[in-house]
């Protein structure tokens, strides 16, 4: 990957795209630290809201601490991700959206437009809930600081407008990175936010290592070493599975047309072990945390919220079991959407191909479906283990919430997947430039 980066900086066009991406990412990170007018960010850092043991604290960790800082881009890219997931599910359920998805560029433009509209609606709902939660923190709204409690509602509306505008601006930055830079802009924004949170946690651990207390310093040092070793092991495991694939051999029969012979070649169909990527985890975590999020924002003292937090809160045994089952369900659901054995078998037969030892037609479709189910089961088991390690194993081994919350289960997969995808994008850009140079 480092060789690819060095070669990419030697090409002027690719170097310009990299600098554009870095500049837009820098603007995003500045927005994650710039406080909203009317907010007292220092109060959040010293309150219960800023701690990692709350659900909103975990949401802030994914966004690089923007929510905890009361920043302009506090909502981050979360509304856009949620709207994209909803639109993807609706595309399967609503025939009109499914028709748009098959219309090429024009259909994608319509779906993207409705995705943006849904993003603003979700951003408005989340902003209202977050401001209500902020108002429960004493002196969080600056109107209280000046003895003007009657103006608190007006400042709250002002803050909601800024939060929604920040979510729209974040979405715009992600789209501009995709258009003018390299890689998927939305993924890069999440990637930068997760790395920023991890960097802050590691920096805090270094500060603990230089304290006067020798016992606390030694514990912090060994905790950091153990954390880095386990993260490297998990990264290696994720890369190994992410690059793994099952290659199904395909043999094409020879065909004689006129005086020429066609076909007769051998190829294969690659099926990735974890073809669904991080989506099953995102879907499962969104469903299991949604009731807790709504109750924490609007009814934090209700009996249902207390019961849900104690039994289905993050890290609880029932939470891990339910989350694993949801991951399996969404993994198989997404595999059926992404890979259609009937269509693949029909295309193989139309071009005169066959799988050695398998009859064309329906037997080929059954064979492909059998392989797809086995790989999906293995990939879902892998995703469940990735969730289990940070949620259950790391807290018992490291005994340090600041480090274990630095990389969430979703964050581990996103960091590795985005890094691998960015490397592939750079290699593709370099290959295109080499072909252009050859033609010239």
Looking up tokens 């043991």 gives 53
pLDDT at 230: 76
- Quick one: DSSP state of residue 53? T
Q: d(Cα 296, Cα 301) in Å, to the nearest integer?
A: 8
Q: What's the whole-number mean pLDDT along residues 319-331?
A: 85
pLDDT at 238: 81
Burial call 179-190: b when 16+ CB within 10 Å, e when fewer? eebbbbbbbbbb
Looking up tokens 């709902």 gives 125
Average pLDDT score, the chain: 77
pLDDT at 319: 81
Both tokens assigned to 97: 């959206």
pLDDT in tens, 183-219: 788 878 888 888 887 777 778 777 777 776 777 777 7
Rounded to 5°, angle at Cα 122 from 117 and 126? 150
pLDDT band at 172 (very low <50, low <70, confident <90, very high): very high
pLDDT in tens, 211-267: 767 777 777 777 778 777 877 887 888 888 888 888 888 887 766 666 666 556 788
DSSP per-residue codes, 200-230: HHHHHHHHHHTSS-HHHHHHHHHHHHHHHHH
pLDDT in tens, 396-420: 655 555 566 555 656 677 777 778 7
The domain spans of the chain are: 32-181
pTM for this entry: 0.76
Q: What's the whole-number mean pLDDT along residues 49-76?
A: 65
pLDDT band at 61 (very low <50, low <70, confident <90, very high): low
Looking up tokens 């709207």 gives 83
Q: What's the whole-number mean pLDDT along residues 348-372?
A: 86
pLDDT at 120: 92
């Amino acid at each position: 990957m480092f060789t690819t980066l060095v070669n990419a900086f030697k090409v002027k066009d690719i170097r310009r795209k990299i600098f554009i991406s870095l500049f837009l990412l820098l603007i995003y990170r500045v927005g994650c630290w710039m406080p909203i007018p009317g907010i007292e960010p220092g109060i959040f850092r010293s309150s219960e809201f800023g701690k990692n043991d709350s659900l909103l604290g975990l949401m802030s960790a994914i966004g690089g601490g923007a929510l905890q800082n009361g920043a302009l881009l506090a909502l981050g890219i979360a509304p856009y991700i949620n709207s994209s997931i909803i639109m993807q599910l609706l595309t399967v359920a609503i025939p009109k959206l499914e028709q748009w998805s098959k219309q090429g560029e024009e259909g994608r433009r319509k779906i993207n437009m409705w995705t943006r509209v849904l993003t603003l609606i979700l951003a408005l709902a989340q902003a209202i809930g977050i401001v209500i939660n902020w108002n429960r923190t004493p002196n969080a709204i600056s109107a209280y600081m000046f003895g003007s409690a009657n103006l608190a509602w007006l400042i709250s509306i002002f803050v909601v407008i800024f939060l929604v505008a920040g979510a729209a601006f974040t979405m715009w930055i992600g789209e501009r990175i995709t258009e003018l830079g390299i890689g998927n802009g939305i993924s890069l924004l999440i990637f930068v936010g997760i790395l920023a949170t991890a960097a802050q946690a590691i920096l805090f651990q270094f500060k603990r290592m230089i304290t006067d207390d020798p016992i606390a310093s030694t514990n912090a040092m060994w905790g950091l070493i153990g954390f880095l070793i386990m993260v490297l092991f998990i990264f290696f495991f994720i890369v190994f599975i992410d690059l793994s694939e099952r290659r199904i051999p395909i043999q094409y029969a020879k065909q004689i047309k006129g005086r020429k012979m066609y076909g007769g070649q051998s190829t294969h169909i690659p099926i990735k072990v974890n073809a669904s990527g991080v989506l099953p985890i995102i879907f499962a975590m969104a469903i299991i945390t949604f009731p807790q999020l709504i109750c924490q924002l609007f009814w934090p003292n209700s009996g249902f919220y207390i019961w849900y937090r104690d039994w289905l809160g993050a890290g609880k045994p029932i939470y891990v079991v339910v989350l694993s089952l949801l991951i399996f369900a969404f993994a198989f659901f997404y595999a059926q959407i992404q890979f259609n054995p009937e269509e693949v078998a029909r295309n193989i037969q139309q071009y005169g191909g066959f799988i050695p030892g398998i009859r064309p037609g329906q037997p080929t479709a059954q064979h492909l479906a059998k392989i797809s189910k086995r790989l999906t089961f293995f990939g879902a088991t892998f995703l469940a283990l990735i969730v289990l390690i940070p949620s259950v194993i790391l807290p018992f081994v490291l005994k340090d919430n600041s480090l274990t919350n630095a990389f969430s289960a979703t964050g581990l997969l996103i960091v590795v997947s985005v890094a691998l995808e960015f490397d592939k994008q750079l290699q593709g850009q370099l290959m295109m430039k080499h072909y252009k140079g050859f033609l010239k």
